[in-house]
Amino acid sequence: MPGERPVKRWPLVPTVVVALAVATMVGLGLWQLLDRRPEKLAYIAQLSANPAKLPVAFPRLPDEGLLFRRATGFCLEPTAFRTEGAGRFGFRILAECRTGGAEGPGMLVQLGTTRDPNARVRWPGGEVSGHIAYAPSNRSALGSLFDRDPERLMLVSDRPLAGLASNARPDPSSVPNPHLSYALQWFFFATAAMVIYVLALRRRVR
């Protein structure tokens, strides 16, 4: 009839696409909340028990299950030194070590800390005892999701070497467990997508 507004068809394809996207985001949120977070909590509990265990030899291959475990290693010769940030402790001095001749796997040792960012140290190598920690890495949080290679480990000396100040004591509580925040982010994205689409539909039918 004249004057009647045409009935607009329901946008089926966009609705299906948005519904699938929302379902995917909710699924990812549940995966972070119900799967990844409990796994990480159990992993942190395992690491918290490591400092009380007997010392081991520094591993030839990275084994994240040994984080915070006391360990020993022998540096035949330091091949390079470098400085990394250490938060309130200033800077930490790391030594790349040759450990078994040309065929050896090598070992990274954190010798100690300093307030001087330009500190130059001399250390001939030798026996090192301390705890196992992650080596400094430039790997981003996003990169960690797709890079399945194990992160490099290092030996943090339990006594300062080369005239440096002491290293920080191992703290398993410092291991991040961001999976709850990841889950909340996915739920937020799903909610935002639904709200935006509903508002778009309301504008369309006006």
Strands (DSSP E) contained in 29-76 are 56-57, 70-75
> pLDDT by residue (tens digit) across 41-73?
998 988 999 999 999 999 988 888 899 999 999
Residue 49, class by beta-carbon neighbours within 10 Å (0-12 exposed, 13-18 middle, 19+ buried)?
exposed
Question: Rounded CA gap, 27 and 143, in Å?
Answer: 21
Distance CA 146, CA 72 (A): 32
* Residue 94 near residue 117, CB atoms below 8 Å: no
Helix (H, G, I), strand (E, B) or coil at 121: coil
Q: Which two tokens stand for residue 81?
A: 């030194």
Task: Tell me: pLDDT of 143 over 70.
Answer: no
- Residues 80-118 pLDDT 10s: 999 998 788 889 999 999 987 544 678 999 999 999 888
- The band of 136, judged by pLDDT with boundaries at 50, 70 and 90, is confident
Contacts of residue 103, defined as CB under 8 A and 6 or more positions apart, other chains included, come to: none
**pLDDT surpassing 70 at residue 26:** yes
From residue 89, how far is each of 79, 102, 104, 168 by CA, in Å? 25, 34, 32, 8
Buried b (16+ CB within 10 A) or exposed e, 111-149: bbbbeeeebebebebeebebbbbeebeeeeeeeeeeeee
Beta-sheet pairing, 153-157 with 107-114: parallel
How far is it between the farthest Cα atoms of the chain?
Answer: 96
Query: What value does the mean pLDDT take over residues 172-188?
Result: 90
pLDDT of residue 119 exceeding 90, the answer is: no
Q: What is the DSSP letter of 169?
A: P
Q: For residue range 190-204, what is the model confidence (pLDDT) as tens digits?
A: 999 999 998 888 887
Torsion of CA 59, 61, 65, 66, to 10 degrees: 20
Taking a C-beta distance cutoff of 8 angstroms, is the pair 109, 79 a contact?
A: no
